[in-house]
Amino acid sequence: MDHRHVQGIVRREFLQVGFSGFLGLTLPELLAHRAQAASRASGKGPRAKAMIMVFMSGGLSHIDSLDPKPDAPEGIRGEFKPIDTKAPGVRISEHLPGFAARADKWAIVRTMSHPNNNHLNSTHLMLTGAAQPGAFFDKIASRDDYPCYASMLDYVRPRSDGIPSGVLLPTFLMEGPLVWPGQHAGFLGTKHDPWQIKQDPSKPDFRIDDLAMPSGFSVERLEGRKQWLDEISTQHDAWGAKAAGSKDPLASQREQAFSLLLSGKVARAFELDREDPRVRDRYGRHMFGQSLLLGRRLVQAGVPVVQVNLGRVQNWDTHSDNFKSLKNRLLPPTDQGVSALLDDLQVSGMLDETLVVFATEFGRTPRIGASTGNNNQRDGRDHWGPAFSVAFAGAGVRGGQVIGQSDKTGAYPVSQPYRPGDFAATIYQSLGIDPGTEVHDRLNRPLRICTGQPIEPVFTA
């Protein structure tokens, strides 16, 4: 079905190249109205120019990763041993040796907490900082949802250079009819949606065709097409001036589209074969590693928010084979890729202005085999929202520390708990967005984007 403006113009009649695979939108649709609301940005300067969020969909076991409990009873502590890290007194899982060697750069928060044990509701909480409106068990994404971080940044500080404010890769979190909320702009509307990349960058044939020059077009031919459309725009403006004093509503968006296609700045970021093969090897020739490498390249190309989903939807949902899955399939490639990412950002000088966030929607049950309502196996851990861990690095983060303490079984915080709203406020503050910014939902009701407070110890001594 064609998408029409109030003037009756069919958008894809203007431009039928690029990005058609992203959410079914043409490039002008994706770039539409980028010039709105520039004055809404917070007066407080950002600490970070960009953010890379590493997201473990399904629920990473905190006890088997960043918050080990070696003194807990056998049915709780699990099979893994803790190891020392570069941060004195900080110990984490033996299967995160790279993370341990860079612990001086990480601030680990061990008292993240919320009351939800449902994947979809919890994902919305962590990827927006707010409870899903009208939440119920497995409530799928809707345009009543709160916006994700990239979308909020696009709303507050819209771009005019054709570069997207956010890219999510390499998987869209969806299983059958269930579409995970927190992946788009929610009530802010499709014009603020981030780009969605759904291909595995570790594959030999990885290519984002929608970012390539259209088949049969040279730069000269595309520039000729642009001139032709400019003439149409000029005629439209002349007619509009006579009829209603209007101007071509797509002129600026079309200019951004052509600028992006002709410069190829973002397109080149997807050309991983431009990287030194040794660099690709350091990240790991797997989906996790190459996705993180692509995330770094996109930030270098100017994309301010990149979310890298490590694995398919519910990949970390270890109801069975918890220890085998973590040891053999999940933690090693994560550790390799995240370590290489941090090293590259450090060497290039980008770490000082890039916030790296290591997060998940909830933790796992302290007691192995226990159930919180799911068919949990004897060697699995079920969903657990009351206590879990996240970590921050870069962009002014004071690394080498643990913030908060969970109880002796990892079940509940014994020091100040931090909520998803606090997690979101920390990200917003780092990106220079006032966490108290007010927006309006689809019913024009005023809403604060976040009701939490920044986790100040992340940045202060």
3-state secondary structure of 433: coil
Task: Please list the pLDDT of the chain residue by residue as tens digits (461 residues).
Answer: 444 333 333 333 333 333 333 333 344 333 333 333 333 333 334 589 999 999 999 999 999 999 999 999 999 999 999 999 999 999 999 999 999 999 999 999 999 999 999 999 999 999 999 999 999 999 999 999 999 999 999 999 998 888 899 999 999 999 999 999 999 999 999 999 999 999 999 999 898 765 554 455 444 554 555 566 556 556 654 554 444 444 454 454 455 555 555 457 788 899 999 999 999 999 999 999 999 999 999 999 999 999 999 988 889 999 999 999 999 999 999 999 999 999 999 999 999 999 999 999 999 999 999 999 999 999 999 999 999 999 999 999 999 999 999 999 999 999 999 999 999 999 999 999 999 999 999 999 999 999 999 999 999 86
Please report, for the chain, the start and end positions of each structural domain, with discontinuous segments joined by +: 33-208+270-458
Count of other CB atoms within 10 angstroms of residue 176: 6
Determine which helix (DSSP H) or strand (DSSP E) holds 323, and give its type and residue range: helix 322-325
How far apart are alpha carbons 254 and 160 in whole angstroms? 11
Q: Which of 125, 68, 98, 30 is nearest to 336 (CA)?
A: 98
Let me know: does 77 contact 68? Beta carbons within 8 Å.
Answer: yes
Determine which helix (DSSP H) or strand (DSSP E) holds 357, and give its type and residue range: strand 354-360
443: tokens are 């019913």
Treating both helix axes as pointing N-terminal to C-terminal, what angle do 149-156 and 420-430 enclose, rounded to 10 degrees? 40
Q: What dotted CATH number matches 33-208+270-458?
A: 3.40.720.10
How far apart are alpha carbons 258 and 69 in whole angstroms? 55
Total-model pTM: 0.82
Q: Which of 154, 168, 151, 184 is nearest to 256 (CA)?
A: 154
Segment 130-133 long-range contacts (CB within 8 Å, at least 24 positions apart): 130/420, 130/421, 130/424, 130/449, 130/450, 130/451, 132/181, 133/441
Strands (E), 298-340: 305-309
Could you tell me which residues are beta bridge partners of residue 391? 108, 358
